[in-house]
């Protein structure tokens, strides 16, 4: 009997044993970090439930204190493992990753089974493209806890007000519980377990324009030229699957994209970057080099009988890399060298749930993916296992391999990778978007709690398809969406094949003007946004935060889901927001672009009292100089003081890891009729004065703006009388 057959025989035995529900004792409970506990049930076997979530295996640092109150209960029923945790008191629950529905997750349930679900139509959106088995609870006093279920098995998560229940269709798993003084500290604990995003290149924070598809080189050039002719800021043009030769990945259509290297160079010359899609399905074609190479290396997913698994996707019947095998990941990474040599800047991994077109099968056989018993061969620290175990991690393993390939091909640049499917922990390799949404006000409003929740679940670099992917988009809907979407972490306009054009100028002069204002506001905020992303890459805190982060003890903010914070100091109130609950304290309105406060589509922006937000000038792309001048927007607190930070580096590459960066702390203090602003602290070895020649300060008090000018070399004085 082969090792594979032994494994599946054991698996069948496990699943069919213990028909009645049986409680499972905790074999080991220990501290593995400050306020982080690990619970391992009796009978846990990492060969049945390997961790595909943790950044590394935690090391025990101490015994669990007797005062620890959060203790999970494990159970096995009909061979399937689950766990529950009783809650006491008034707890506000959040998390679950990519979910539809309210920000406040009390009384909600989701299915953790990555699914291609256009317009979020599958089960009302309770089963989407990613799996985040994670819940965060916030108590009345503002202290918080988080629960991480370290399992990739197909599962359901129920977040009831008095109990959290996690039921899988697989083997026993470990649980990690973080208990700290604030939700922010809990999220930092989650990052300690699962890792943070890498600091992205600055260009990735610009505006991105995409369509399924810009089908020819000529159309791509037209789009790029129109942005520049109309002076509408944009950094990235995206190529969907129609650039390929009959949807064969890592190829180009010789008629429609005859010279991708020249196209990409021309885009670069105009200040654009180019991102191209790569799906996991490899066309079953014996004359196709990628298929030939994969077959030679024996890396395809197999059927239980040992033959290659075939499933339909865009090219027709495809084979699929078994990313659980190290040699597959190495092979896949190697495919990027020649591909990126054409000047491609970033990669988009789509359809990687993996999605299978099985509509020609009888309805009771349609899974939309590989059959549950499809075997994966594993290797190194990953055991053999069925698709039921590895499905939710397929996209995560794919982007790990893609990230490695992009980095190997361009070692002096920071990889940019976007993925549709992932599991918690995969943020270490790829950003994400919220999948194939719909052009409607419902989905517009839904995008805010969805993106906030992803940030509260370890994935801060995310955003929706602005304007809606599926369905036609009206000018009114587009302008409403871009008016606040311009401030989300990932800002990309996208459109499905067969829908109307969805570029900023596609709706007439009035909407073009409002679109330009929205994007100019984002580009002015790039110095602040890049600083927030730097902090996120270090701490794991979200970029886009819920309003209750402004005051974690305020019960009225706990379910506010129409507005959001960018970092700590900028409050975004979308135009659609209807009587939102605002944080208490000092919050002053700010204006970034002429006419932005009079445009009905623009989100209202407010700066927090006691803070300083650095902003740049209007630029057309991130290759231009934002800092001529740098403007410090200042809002004093009750004591007449304010503080803020600015992070500077080359915007790409790795020199910042050699201390070639500057992290500046600006402070402001009211003294009589003047506000004095200076740099109080500096970290890093970068000569920041070469970046900051001029500084303009704007102090906002009771709606009035007072200005002063200076440089980074001395104190800037602003007269406020």
pLDDT 10s digits, 230-253 = 999 999 999 999 999 999 999 999
Q: What is the pLDDT of residue 707?
A: 97
Q: Cα–Cα distance between 358 and 367 in angstroms, integer? A: 7
pLDDT per residue over 348-370, tens digit each? 999 999 999 999 999 989 999 99
How does residue 10 score in pLDDT terms, banded at 50, 70 and 90?
A: very low
How does residue 17 score in pLDDT terms, banded at 50, 70 and 90?
A: very low
Superfamily of segment(s) 551-719: Golgi alpha-mannosidase II (2.60.40.1180)
Neighbouring residues of 3: CB distance < 8 A, sequence distance ≥ 6: 384
Catalytic site residue from 98, 179, 353, 561: 353
H/E stretch holding 405 reads helix 387-409
Neighbouring residues of 379: CB distance < 8 A, sequence distance ≥ 6: 324, 325, 326, 327
Q: HSE of 426 in the Cβ direction (CA atoms, 13 Å)?
A: 35
pLDDT per residue over 450-462, tens digit each? 999 999 999 999 9
Average pLDDT over residues 253-270: 98
- Using a cut of 0.85, tell me whether the model's pTM lies above it: yes
Catalytic site residue from 242, 350, 520, 649: 350
Q: Which of 524, 523, 542 is nearest to 532 (CA)?
A: 542
Specify whether domain 18-194 bears CATH 2.60.40.1760: yes
Catalytic site residue from 192, 345, 384, 436: 436
| DSSP conformational letter for 403 | H
Segments making up each domain of the chain, as ranges: 18-194, 278-331+351-409, 551-719
Q: Are strands 346-349 and 273-277 parallel, antiparallel or unpaired?
A: parallel
**pLDDT exceeds 70 at position 6:** no
Q: Give yes or no: 674 in active site.
A: no
- Residue 631's beta-bridge partner residues? 615, 696
Distances (CA, A) of 398 to 219, 296, 355, 409, 542: 30, 20, 13, 17, 24
Q: Give yes or no: 669 in active site.
A: no
Is the Cβ–Cβ distance between 109 and 95 less than 8 Å? no
Task: Give me the helix-helix angle, 217-229 and 260-269, nearest 10°.
Answer: 0
Instruction: Dump strand ranges (E) for 281-437.
Output: 282-283, 311-313, 316-319, 346-349, 375-376, 385-386, 417-419, 422-423, 431-433
Q: Give yes or no: 350 in active site.
A: yes
CA angle 135, 140, 142 (to 5 degrees): 70
3-class secondary structure, 43: coil
Neighbouring residues of 254: CB distance < 8 A, sequence distance ≥ 6: 245
Q: Cα–Cα distance between 140 and 128 in angstroms, integer? A: 31
Neighbouring residues of 534: CB distance < 8 A, sequence distance ≥ 6: 199, 647, 663
How does residue 269 score in pLDDT terms, banded at 50, 70 and 90?
A: very high
- Note whether 18-194 and 551-719 share their fold: yes
Overall residue count recorded for the chain in this entry: 721
**pLDDT exceeds 90 at position 678:** yes
How does residue 542 score in pLDDT terms, banded at 50, 70 and 90?
A: very high
Residue 450, classified by CB atoms within 10 Å of its CB into exposed (0-12), middle (13-18) or buried (19+), is: buried
Q: Cα–Cα distance between 554 and 584 in angstroms, integer? A: 9
Q: What is the pLDDT of residue 7?
A: 47
């Amino acid at each position: 009997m082969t090792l594979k057959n032994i494994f599946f025989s054991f698996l069948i035995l496990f699943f069919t044993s213990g028909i009645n529900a049986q409680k499972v004792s905790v074999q080991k409970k220990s501290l593995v970090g400050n306020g982080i506990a690990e619970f391992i049930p009796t009978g846990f076997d990492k060969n049945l439930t390997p961790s595909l979530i943790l950044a590394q295996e935690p090391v025990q640092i101490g015994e669990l204190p007797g005062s620890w109150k959060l203790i999970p209960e494990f159970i096995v029923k009909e061979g399937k493992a689950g766990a529950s945790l009783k809650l006491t008191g008034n707890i506000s629950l959040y998390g679950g990753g990519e979910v539809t529905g309210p920000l406040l997750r009390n009384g909600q349930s989701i299915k953790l089974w990555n699914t291609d679900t256009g317009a979020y139509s599958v089960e009302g959106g309770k089963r989407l493209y990613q799996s985040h088995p994670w819940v965060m609870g916030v108590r009345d006093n503002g202290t918080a806890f988080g629960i991480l279920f370290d399992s990739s098995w197909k599962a359901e998560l129920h977040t009831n007000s008095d109990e959290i229940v996690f039921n899988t269709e697989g083997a026993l798993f470990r649980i990690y519980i973080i208990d700290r003084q604030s939700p922010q500290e809990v999220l930092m604990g989650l990052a300690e377990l699962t890792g943070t995003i890498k600091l992205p290149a600055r260009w990735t924070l610009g505006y991105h324009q995409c369509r399924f598809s810009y089908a020819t080189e000529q159309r791509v050039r037209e789009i790029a030229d129109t942005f520049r002719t109309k002076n509408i800021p944009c950094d990235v043009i995206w190529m969907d699957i129609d650039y390929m030769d009959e949807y064969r990945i890592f190829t180009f259509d010789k008629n429609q994209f005859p010279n991708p290297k020249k196209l990409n160079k021309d885009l670069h010359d105009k200040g654009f970057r180019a991102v191209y899609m790569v799906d996991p399905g490899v066309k079953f074609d014996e004359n196709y080099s990628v298929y030939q190479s994969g077959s030679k290396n024996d890396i395809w997913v197999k059927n239980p009988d040992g033959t290659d698994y075939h499933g339909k996707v865009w090219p027709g019947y495809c084979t699929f890399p078994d990313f659980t095998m190290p040699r597959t990941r190495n092979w896949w990474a190697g495919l990027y060298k020649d591909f990126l040599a054409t000047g491609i800047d970033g990669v988009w991994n789509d359809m990687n749930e993996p999605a299978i077109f099985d509509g020609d099968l009888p309805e009771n056989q349609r899974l939309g993916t590989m059959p549950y018993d499809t075997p994966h061969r594993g290797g190194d620290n990953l055991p053999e296992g069925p698709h039921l175990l590895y499905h939710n991690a397929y996209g995560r393993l794919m982007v790990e391999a893609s990230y490695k390939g992009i980095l190997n091909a361009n070692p002096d640049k920071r990889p940019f990778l976007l993925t549709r499917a992932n599991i918690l922990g995969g943020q270490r390799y790829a950003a994400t978007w919220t999948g194939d949404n719909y052009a409607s006000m419902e989905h517009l409003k839904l995008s805010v709690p969805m993106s906030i929740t992803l940030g509260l679940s370890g994935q801060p670099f995310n955003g929706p398809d602005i304007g809606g992917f599926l369905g036609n988009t009206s000018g009114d809907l587009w302008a409403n969406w871009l008016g606040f979407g311009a401030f989300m972490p990932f800002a990309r306009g996208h459109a499905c094949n067969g829908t109307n054009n969805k570029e900023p100028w596609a709706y007439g002069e009035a909407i073009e003007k409002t679109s330009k204002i929205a994007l100019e506001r984002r580009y002015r905020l790039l110095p602040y946004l890049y600083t927030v992303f730097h902090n996120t890459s270090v701490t794991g805190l979200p970029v886009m935060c819920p309003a209750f982060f402004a005051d974690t003890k305020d019960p009225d903010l706990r379910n506010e889901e129409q507005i959001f914070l960018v970092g700590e100091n900028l409050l975004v109130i979308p135009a659609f927001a209807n009587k939102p609950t605002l944080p208490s304290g000092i919050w002053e309105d700010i204006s970034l672009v002429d006419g932005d406060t009079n445009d009905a589509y623009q989100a209202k922006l407010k700066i927090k009292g006691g803070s300083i937000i650095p902003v740049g000038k209007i630029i057309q792309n991130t290759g231009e100089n934002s800092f001529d001048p740098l403007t410090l927007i200042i809002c004093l607190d009750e004591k007449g003081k304010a503080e803020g930070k600015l992070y500077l580096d080359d915007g790409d590459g790795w020199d910042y890891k050699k201390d070639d960066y500057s992290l500046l702390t600006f402070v402001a203090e009211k003294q009589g009729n003047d506000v004095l602003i200076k740099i109080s602290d500096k970290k890093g070895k970068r000569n920041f004065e070469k970046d900051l020649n001029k500084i303009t300060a704007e102090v906002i008090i009771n709606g009035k703006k007072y200005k002063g000018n200076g440089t980074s070399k001395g104190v800037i004085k602003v007269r406020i009388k």
